[in-house]
Structure 1
Amino acid sequence: MNEFEVRITRKVKRDDIIQLYKDAGWWRQEYSLDPSFIDRLVCNSFCFVGAFHKKKMVGMGRSISDGASDAYILDVTVLKKYRGKGIGTRIILKILERIKSRGIDWATVIAEPGTEEFYRKAGFRVMKGFVPLRLKQRK
């Protein structure tokens, strides 16, 4: 029996998501000011995948999409103490399964430096001739 379950879900515990974001270094204090932030993050995603050990969420990933041709995978993370067990790969594969089942053939991810090999193993390649851009944040 596999001790980790990876599944598409909409039912998550707010504290589990916050812990995952903090563990990954992504949590910003202003997120705490909006009580609906976590609900919107999960429910407005095209696909939200959780990895669970017993009943605790130990990993997550999500995608946003137009539902027709393009999808973007983001926020893939696993709690540090659970890394190296194939959980992240299973999260990516579950997201890709959903994307492909909808006939979407363009899936992208903007990866953090040092994670390229992880995504290559899942079938992603560096997009030569493209530059990721981000809107400048206000101060």
Structure 2
Amino acid sequence: MRTEKLNGLEIKLVRTVPVDQFQALYQDAGWWQDDYKITDTFLRRIPEKSALFAGAFLEKKLIGMGRALSDLCSDAYIQDVVVLSAYQKRGIGSLIVNFLIEELKKRGVDWIGLIGEPGTRVFYENLGFRQMKNYIPFKLE
């Protein structure tokens, strides 16, 4: 598997990550609260079942991640891009997204989308993403 290394930071595709470090990423981002009980089995399945799961490791510690859901033929959605708050504003998130884009394109994926959280518009626009006009994101409730 391809990896990208920069100043001790390694970004690589993985199928497993330390469960405690993985959960810490989601909690640090405010996506899961401490009282939200997630099983280790569930956490292990996320990287295993994602089409691509990129981990950003600093001295073997998981400090960031991003993943792609895809058929790995034509379409992909990037989601769950997160970097521990102590390591943000260093370009790590951009490295993760660009790493995923490159890996998807190598596999022939030609449509890559995502839904960004409020406040992330400039971040994703700087990476080449544009808001899709005349489209509305939906979620089954």
Verify same fold: TM over 0.5: yes
* Partner-residue secondary structure (3-state), 1:91: helix
Whole-angstrom CA distance in 2 between matches of 1:115 and 1:73: 13
Task: Tell me what 1:49 maps to.
Answer: 54
Paired residue type of 2:71: D
The alignment-based identity, stated in percent, is 45
Q: Which consecutive residues of structure 2, in runs of 5 or more, have no partner in the other structure? A: 1-5
Matched, 1:97 2:102: yes
Matched, 1:15 2:20: yes
Matched, 1:25 2:30: yes
Paired residue type of 1:8: L
* Higher relative contact order, structure no. (Cα contacts within 8 Å, ≥ 6 residues apart): 1
Q: Is the 8 A contact 1:31 1:37 kept in 2?
A: no
Tell me which moved more, 22-31 or 123-132: 22-31
Q: 1:47 to 1:31 in 2, by over 3 A?
A: farther
Q: Which consecutive residues of structure 1, in runs of 5 or more, have no partner in the other structure? A: none
1:72-111 Cα shifts (integer Å, max 9, x gaps): 0000000001001110000001100111011111010100
Whole-angstrom CA distance in 2 between matches of 1:94 and 1:15: 24
* Partner-residue secondary structure (3-state), 2:40: coil
1:22-61 Cα shifts (integer Å, max 9, x gaps): 01111265552x3311111110000000111111110000
Paired residue type of 1:5: E
- Among 63, 68, 71, the alignment partner of 2:68 is 63
TM-score, scaled to structure 2: 0.91
- Number of aligned pairs? 135
Whole-angstrom CA distance in 2 between matches of 1:48 and 1:10: 7
- Among 85, 88, 94, the alignment partner of 1:83 is 88
Q: Is the 8 A contact 2:16 2:44 kept in 1?
A: no
TM-score, scaled to structure 1: 0.92
- Aligned-residue RMSD, C-alpha: 1.3
